[in-house]
A and B are shown apart, each in its own frame.
Chain A
Amino acid sequence: MLPAEFVARCKRHRVVLSVVFLLIFPLVMPFKAIAVNILIYGLFALGFNLLFGTLGLLSFGHAALFGGGAYACGIAIVHYGAPWWLGIFAGLLGGMLIAAIIGALAIRTRGIYFAMVTLALAQCVYFVAYQASDFTGGENGLRGIDVRDINLFGLHINFVDPLNRYYVVAAFVAAALFVLSRILASPFGAVLEAVRENEARARACGYDVRATRFVAFVISGGFCGLAGALQALHLSIVPIETLYYQTSGLVVMMALLGGMGTFFGPFIGAGVFLLLENLVSLWTVHWQLVVGAAFVACVLFFPRGIWGTILLGRAK
């Protein structure tokens, strides 16, 4: 556990500190492709965490927002010849749109019902993508998202180079962290805290709890859609599994591992998970067993997650 005053000071500069970390990270990280994955899944977990950590809503359907963003980006580029930046924008909007649809139906429920409704609706999205194979490539995935160069305001970046690729993705992640920090510090951020802390009181104060949840769900969809779009560019393909419920489970694990409701925890969770997966799978095919055991141990002994425990100490 770090001294409380130090934590408070870091919190004030959380965006700057996160950006410094993003800049240094690929220099200490031997595998650049994994580093990119960590950023993308970290961003996905960040979007998930906005609902789960900040509002206490456990969604089991976030694959639809991540995958929706990936498909929106891929379809814009493959079928409509959109430039890379428009693809990313399409991903962001795609994530928000699917979040609006799922959110409108799911926010009426709570707890386990919310988890089940989001799961079921996300499976519907999977099914639609599976069937609409002319558009999505069906079970073969959406292929041919071929972005080799990133052009922006006369700047010309070779996207095939792993380090360049990392920094392009990191720039989007930094922007997302800045936006998240603004949201958490905003009046709406205060409402999110209020709704999480005590729904009845929030309502009595005059806040529409359902509308608040809905807006948070859509914002979450924006972050997850952006992560999905970056994933599509990174992989050059959108595998159909992106929409599968395992992806939803993955993000729950990453968010819990990192620490729910922490600012930077999602990236720690994604990093630990993906590094464990990559390292353990080098010496055993049963890597899922090892990673699963590590996850269970973490939830049992460090309920605040890795980052939450570092910042606040172990929960009593």
Chain B
Amino acid sequence: MSDIILTTEGVAKSFGKFRALSGITASFPRGKLTAIIGPNGAGKSTYFNLISGAFPPSAGRIVFEGRDITGTAQHRYAALGIAKSFQITTVFPQVTVLENVRVALQALVSRFNIWMPRGDLAGLAEKAADLLNVVGISQHRERLAGSLAHGEQRALEIAMALASNPRLLLLDEPTAGMSPEETRSMMDLIVKLASERTVILVEHKMKLVMGISDRLLVLHHGELLAEGTPDDIRRNETVKRVYLGQREH
């Protein structure tokens, strides 16, 4: 296995006339936690959405494990081995927590069976319960997902992303809107997950990810401003200017 899991080659995205992202070329090492940082509106989510297949790039290529996946339909990503959680929480609110994860697991085995009772799909409920344990919300399994606290919904979303046992996990601001305690436990969870798979994390609070990331990419105004280890980034003058100008966290 190559030690590069994902490469983007000059990927760009325009919304109408507005160029949200100029050609970004970057590689992501396997088994590492890479954080994409940058101030609000830098283009992080746009870049994230291109990597995760929410929409195709206006230009450039995306290569995953040596394979060009540019323009691949979103619903094929889970089978490729890529999963994500969105910046805005997306769960199935009117469905129980356990069923949320069970449906996510079901995508791998049954999509169009209209006759069998869904409970007869062997092992899914047990696996779902295991995943809820991993993210630490198994006590809420029978509750409706929409009734969970914000932080718990985010954890549920990560459990659903883990259902496809992805080799690459993409997280867009997983701590957005969280209380300090929730943020801390989410960070612990991310570190735990990153020990078993490649993680790409989008975050605009630089301080939060400095301690846990192996590598950082800094985006600003849709361009790749800098990349390197946390120490490289901390010493980088341009980055300092961008973040200092903002009096960032």
* Interface positions of A (Cβ within 8 A of B): 182-183, 185-191, 193-194, 197-198, 200-201, 203-209, 211-212, 215, 219
Cβ–Cβ < 8 Å partners of B104 in chain A: 205
Chain B residues with CB under 8 Å of chain A are: 52, 54, 73-79, 83-84, 86, 90-95, 99, 102-104, 106-108, 110-118, 121, 157, 160-161, 163-164
Cβ-defined contact, B163 with A188, below 8 A: no
CB B64 to nearest CB in A, in angstroms, measures: 16
Q: Cβ of A208: which chain B residues have Cβ within 8 Å of it? A: 73, 75, 111
- A206-B93 Cα distance, complex, nearest whole Å: 18
Smallest beta-carbon distance A56→chain B, Å? 12
Bound state CA distance, A106 and B13, in angstroms?
A: 28
List 15 extra interface pairs beyond A191-B111, A193-B92, A201-B90, CB under 8 A: A182-B115, A183-B114, A186-B115, A197-B91, A197-B92, A197-B94, A200-B86, A200-B90, A204-B75, A204-B83, A204-B161, A206-B75, A206-B79, A206-B108, A208-B73
| Separation of A260 and B94 alpha carbons in the complex (Å) | 15
Q: How far is the CB of A110 from chain B (nearest CB, A)?
A: 16
Q: With a CB–CB cut-off of 8 A, which chain A residues contact B111?
A: 187-188, 191, 206-208, 212
Q: Determine the chain A residues whose CB is within 8 A of the CB of B116 once the complex forms.
A: 186-187
Q: Please state if A206 and B118 are interface contacts (CB–CB under 8 Å).
A: no
Interface residue from B73, B90, B117 paired with A185 (Cβ < 8 Å): B117
Write 25 A-B pairs (CB below 8 A) sorted by A numbering.
A182-B115, A182-B117, A185-B118, A186-B118, A187-B110, A187-B114, A187-B116, A187-B118, A187-B121, A190-B99, A190-B118, A197-B92, A197-B94, A198-B91, A198-B92, A200-B54, A200-B86, A203-B74, A204-B161, A205-B103, A205-B104, A205-B164, A206-B78, A206-B164, A207-B111
Instruction: Please measure, in the bound complex, the distance between the C-alpha atom of A7 and the C-alpha atom of B78, giving whole angstroms.
Output: 37
What residue of chain B has the Cβ atom nearest to residue A192's Cβ?
Answer: B114
- Is the beta-carbon distance between B107 and A205 smaller than 8 angstroms? yes
Question: Chain B residues near A209 (CB, 8 Å)?
Answer: 75
A88 to chain B, nearest CB (A): 20
Residue on A nearest B110 in the bound complex, by CB:
A187
Selected contact of B90 from candidates A186, A198, A206, A212, CB within 8 Å: A198
In whole angstroms, how far apart are the Cα atoms of A203 and B78 in the complex?
9
Q: Judge whether A197 and B75 touch: CB under 8 Å.
A: no
